[in-house]
């Protein structure tokens, strides 16, 4: 784990140094980490996940990141993921430089599961956003899903960076 953290530090530092040289005419004061968790870490539970997320946030701030943008984790077949979603929401509410960009990743239907974690039926736009719906043996978000994530995240990115306003999030449909 330490090797991965050291490698991350080195790559981020090198990237920021290269940007100072390649974009010396541009304002590069704003440095943003966009976090879309690929693994759910549902086994960690709320408290430990929040602690780990806080450590990552601190590390990123020490490296020079100025904002932490989050795309809420998707549902991965284990209801314990609801604690992770809640931790991510709470993290963004309690850190002034952390912003939830969108919740829609967690609205995307997980092939073969019941929908008891939802307050209502999943809207049609969030159907077929995973490879599993097209015969692949995985639940990864597909191109349609990533386009939907971008469609919801980009207006909030602009709201935050250009208008200095808070994001406007989708109505919650997950029972977190």
Query: Tens digit of pLDDT for each residue in 75-130?
Result: 988 899 999 999 999 999 999 999 999 999 999 998 887 778 999 999 999 999 99
Question: How far is the C-alpha of 20 from the C-alpha of 27, rounded, in Å?
Answer: 9
- Strands (DSSP E) contained in 32-170 are 32-36, 67-71, 98-102
The structure tokens listed for 67 are 């904002």
pLDDT value of residue 1 = 55
Query: How distant, in Å, are the alpha carbons of 23, 127, 147 from that of 10?
Result: 20, 39, 31
DSSP state of 2: H
pLDDT number for residue 53: 95
Kindly report the pTM of this predicted structure.
0.92
Average pLDDT over residues 46-75: 96
More confident residue, 85 or 132: 85
Kindly state the average pLDDT of the residues 32-43.
86
């Amino acid at each position: 784990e330490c090797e991965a953290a050291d490698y991350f530090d080195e790559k981020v530092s090198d990237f920021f140094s290269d940007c100072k040289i390649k974009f010396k005419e541009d304002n590069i004061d704003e440095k943003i980490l966009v976090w879309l968790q690929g693994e759910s870490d549902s086994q960690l539970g709320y408290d430990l996940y929040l602690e780990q997320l806080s450590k990552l946030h601190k590390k990123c701030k020490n490296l020079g990141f100025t904002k932490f943008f989050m795309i809420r984790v998707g549902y991965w077949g284990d209801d314990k993921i609801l604690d992770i979603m809640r931790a991510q929401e709470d993290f963004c509410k309690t850190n002034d430089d952390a912003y939830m960009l969108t919740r829609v990743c967690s609205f995307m239907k997980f092939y073969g599961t019941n929908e008891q974690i939802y307050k209502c039926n999943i809207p049609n736009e969030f159907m077929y956003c995973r490879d599993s719906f097209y015969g692949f043996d995985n639940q990864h978000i597909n191109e349609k899903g990533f386009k939907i994530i971008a469609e919801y995240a980009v207006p909030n990115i602009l709201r935050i960076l250009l208008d200095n306003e808070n994001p406007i999030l989708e109505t919650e449909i997950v029972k977190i």
